[in-house]
Amino acid sequence: MLDILYSLPAYAALGTALLISTYVVYCALLPKPIPGIPYHHASAARILGDAPAMVYHAQKHGTVFDWMAKQADELNSPIFQLFLKPFSRPSVFITDPREAQDILLHRTKEFDRSQFFQDVFGGTVPHCHVIQPTNDKFRKGRRLLADTMATPFLHNVAAPIIHRHALTFLDLWRVKKEAAAGHAFWVADDLSSFALDSIWDVAFGSQLNTLSEQIAFLKGAAKLDRPDTKYDAIHLPKPSPNAAADSMRILTHGLDVAVTSPTPRLSHWLLRMTPSYRRALAYKEWLVQGRLDDAKARLLDKAVSSGSGSGSGSGAGANDDLKGITCTTDHMVRRESQAARKEGRAPQYDSRQAKDELFGFLVGGYDTTATTMMWSIKFLADHPRVQHKLRAVLARRFEPDDGSEAIPTPDQITGSRIPYLDAVVEEVIRCAQTASSATRMTLADNTPLLGRRLPRGVDVYMLSNGPGYMTANDLNETIPESARSPSSRESKGRAVPAWAAAAGEEDDDMAAFRPERWLKTDASARGAEEVFDVRAGPSMQFGAGLRGCFGKRLAYLEIRILIVVLLWSFELQAVPEGLRGYEAFDSLTHKPKKCYAILQEPSRAQSM
């Protein structure tokens, strides 16, 4: 018997069985393409799929979303699949603006919040509506924040706050301009600080002071070393962040870790185990609780003594409803008080969800807006024509009669219709590419998409940085009408049109920064008025529909205020060649690698 066991045929049989089982396991681990959707065949033959190619690109260039958009050209299709995560379903990508709009606006029963969002935000704000499918928990979260994006709150509460921080930002830049003496200096962190101080104040009604601490630090700094040549940037020192800002930095960095990892949940879990993260989390918890307590003490006592907050006729958005409201936390507390009375239950002001909603508001609105503002500085500096034209328009609108040069007030900025300002803001947002896609997950098997069928649970990325948005639309034009969804076909006539060529040009250079693309002449108005046309062409930086960006209106407000006060106070000069360029790196957002400024006094005479 033993002889048989140790014989050659037995070894051969064992070896063959081992080989076959290894091969079976190997095949089982290989990516499983969704039938009918183009993909790289070489990637399907690798357990790691497309991940090595993507990681290679990311290491070489720092970006991934441009690589994704390039795959549309390589596979010559407006729909394709990539195998990004080992042992997982492929992700599907589409480039067509019209079909993307259709999914986001009309096909909400077939597509919902994606796995991608859960991967990125799940570790940081697990109870925030951001990661929920469109369910009761989502609706409850949204209700808590309701009204913070309504005009009364934005104009009467948020705008003065942002304007105040914008003035402090100008103070910082005045100090830096003096210290830089004509040299370029790094500005990305200043814009981050402005965005953080502003959103913190809007969210919590308290001061983070990162800008003012920098001003004090720079004023007290020893003599600075100037660079040898005018081609180099000056290094301006900055203080270490205060404890609150530092905890924010650590927690928001967690989102970058998740978004850039092929195993986001594991990477974020490991990060959460580190002492620095735990300390930051504990500090944040303490801060948020403190702000909630403060809001309760101010609002609820008042509500009782004044008899308001009864929940009847809350008049969402009415000015009366803003009495005593200084920030988002206040709004949340009032909302919960009203909801609890109406539903006859005890209020849950400090629930896990309430805290995550507040923090989600903050993280959702901080890095995104900061990044867009970083790009705005670059676009404006590189396009002096746009800068001068906008400054002239602003001067005509806001210059006080007394000849003083008082900076426009928040009321003036929010209360004025200025088509060229709207066009510049819109073009900054379009070209910044801060968020290069919207994602949704299929809810059922056999979900139709551009003539193919998708299984349940597939993440669909709707890219907004490639064909139709920033490069020629040819690929999308190959889509037969019959392949589109019924709702897409139905809304054909109402869809946002493809970008048209500029006057005198044959093709539209969609990658070019050209605010005029958002303007049209309204022939019906007296004197054929120039108006802003938000539907001039495709741009999708905020997603769309029910699950589109919640904070879009706040983001517009912040960017608008910054651009007005900045151009009013400074001229942004072109920086030396070596400090220019549009190279970027992708983390949570798509950030510029080089972000410098050289400041000068604006010449209003020249602008006029």
Of the candidates 466, 467, 551, 602, which one interacts with ligand HEM according to CB under 6 A? 551
Distance of closest approach, residue 439 Cβ to ligand HEM, in angstroms: 6
Cβ atoms of residues 162 and 571 within 8 Å? no
CA distance to 57, 590, 592, per residue, from 61 (Å) = 6, 12, 12
Q: Indicate the residue among 142 and 520 with the shorter CB distance to ligand HEM.
A: 142
| 410-449 binders of ligand HEM (CB under 6 A) | 434-435, 438
390 binds ligand HEM (CB under 6 A): no
Which of 286, 326, 358 lies closest to 206 in space, CA to CA? 326
Using DSSP, how many helices (H) and how many strands (E) does the chain show? 24, 15
DSSP structure class, residue 96: -
DSSP structure class, residue 407: P
Distance of closest approach, residue 275 Cβ to ligand HEM, in angstroms: 29
347 binds ligand HEM (CB under 6 A): no
Q: Measure the CA–CA gap between 325 and 299, rounded to whole angstroms.
A: 8
Which of 365, 549, 364, 360 lies closest to 464 in space, CA to CA? 549
| 185-244 binders of ligand HEM (CB under 6 A) | none
Name the burial class of residue 244, with classes exposed (0-12), middle (13-18) and buried (19+) by CB atoms within 10 angstroms of its CB: buried
- Tallying the residues shown for the chain, one arrives at 608
User: Cα–Cα–Cα angle for 388, 389, 391, nearest 5°?
Assistant: 65
Of the candidates 97, 264, 360, 602, which one interacts with ligand HEM according to CB under 6 A? 360
Q: Indicate the residue among 247 and 439 with the shorter CB distance to ligand HEM.
A: 439
Of the candidates 71, 118, 124, 369, which one interacts with ligand HEM according to CB under 6 A? 369
Kindly indicate which of the ranges 71-79, 357-365, 491-499, 519-527 contains the residues binding ligand HEM, using the contact rule CB under 6 A. 357-365
Kindly indicate which of the ranges 9-17, 184-192, 531-539, 548-556 contains the residues binding ligand HEM, using the contact rule CB under 6 A. 548-556
Of the candidates 93, 361, 420, 570, which one interacts with ligand HEM according to CB under 6 A? 361
538 binds ligand HEM (CB under 6 A): no
245 binds ligand HEM (CB under 6 A): no
Distance of closest approach, residue 137 Cβ to ligand HEM, in angstroms: 11
Q: Indicate the residue among 234 and 566 with the shorter CB distance to ligand HEM.
A: 566
467 binds ligand HEM (CB under 6 A): no
Of the candidates 40, 98, 129, 155, which one interacts with ligand HEM according to CB under 6 A? 129
Cβ atoms of residues 525 and 531 within 8 Å? yes
592 binds ligand HEM (CB under 6 A): no
Which of 290, 65, 35 lies closest to 282 in space, CA to CA? 290
Helices (H), 307-351: 328-343
Distance of closest approach, residue 11 Cβ to ligand HEM, in angstroms: 57
Cβ atoms of residues 67 and 57 within 8 Å? yes
185 φ, ψ (degrees, to nearest 5) = -135, 155
Of the candidates 71, 214, 372, 442, which one interacts with ligand HEM according to CB under 6 A? 372
Of the candidates 205, 364, 410, 538, which one interacts with ligand HEM according to CB under 6 A? 364
Distance of closest approach, residue 560 Cβ to ligand HEM, in angstroms: 11
150 φ, ψ (degrees, to nearest 5) = -85, 155
Give how many residues touch ligand HEM by CB under 6 A.
24
Q: Indicate the residue among 213 and 422 with the shorter CB distance to ligand HEM.
A: 422
Name the burial class of residue 317, with classes exposed (0-12), middle (13-18) and buried (19+) by CB atoms within 10 angstroms of its CB: middle
Q: Measure the CA–CA gap between 192 and 195, rounded to whole angstroms.
A: 5
The two beta strands, 184-186 and 233-234, are parallel
Distance of closest approach, residue 544 Cβ to ligand HEM, in angstroms: 6
Cβ atoms of residues 300 and 337 within 8 Å? yes
Q: Indicate the residue among 44 and 149 with the shorter CB distance to ligand HEM.
A: 149
122 binds ligand HEM (CB under 6 A): no
Cβ atoms of residues 355 and 333 within 8 Å? no
Residue 270 structure tokens: 């490991």
368 binds ligand HEM (CB under 6 A): yes
| 81-110 binders of ligand HEM (CB under 6 A) | 104
Q: Indicate the residue among 95 and 607 with the shorter CB distance to ligand HEM.
A: 95
Distance of closest approach, residue 355 Cβ to ligand HEM, in angstroms: 14
Using CB under 6 A as the criterion, which residues of the chain lie in contact with ligand HEM when the complex forms? 104, 129-130, 360-361, 364-365, 368-369, 372, 434-435, 438, 541-544, 547-551, 554-555
